[in-house]
Amino acid sequence: MPLFDFVCKTCDNQFEALVRGSSIPACPKCSSTELERLLSMPFAHTEGTHNNALKAAKKRDSRQGYERVNTQREYEASHDDDGH
């Protein structure tokens, strides 16, 4: 079920609609079916966007790892297991 961008020729409202089969969508603002389908830009998965996503994930994972180690050190410092 494709999602398309439309502009209403009656009220100039721009919206997106899920189009099933041969159904004709209506403008959510004025209910007109006098619509023009717009060209939509597909989501591009390029090497650059992939590398940026990997870099952000590594940074997030590194930060979470540091927080876990720091929390563990604080716990160990406040709980003396030797009984002293």
* pLDDT tens profile 29-44: 999 999 999 876 665 5
pLDDT band at 3 (very low <50, low <70, confident <90, very high): confident
Lowest average pLDDT, out of 13-17, 49-53, 54-58, 70-74, goes to 49-53
Residue given tokens 């410092």 in the structure block: 77
**What average pLDDT does this structure show over 70-81?**
84
pLDDT for 18-29, tens place per residue?
Answer: 888 888 899 999
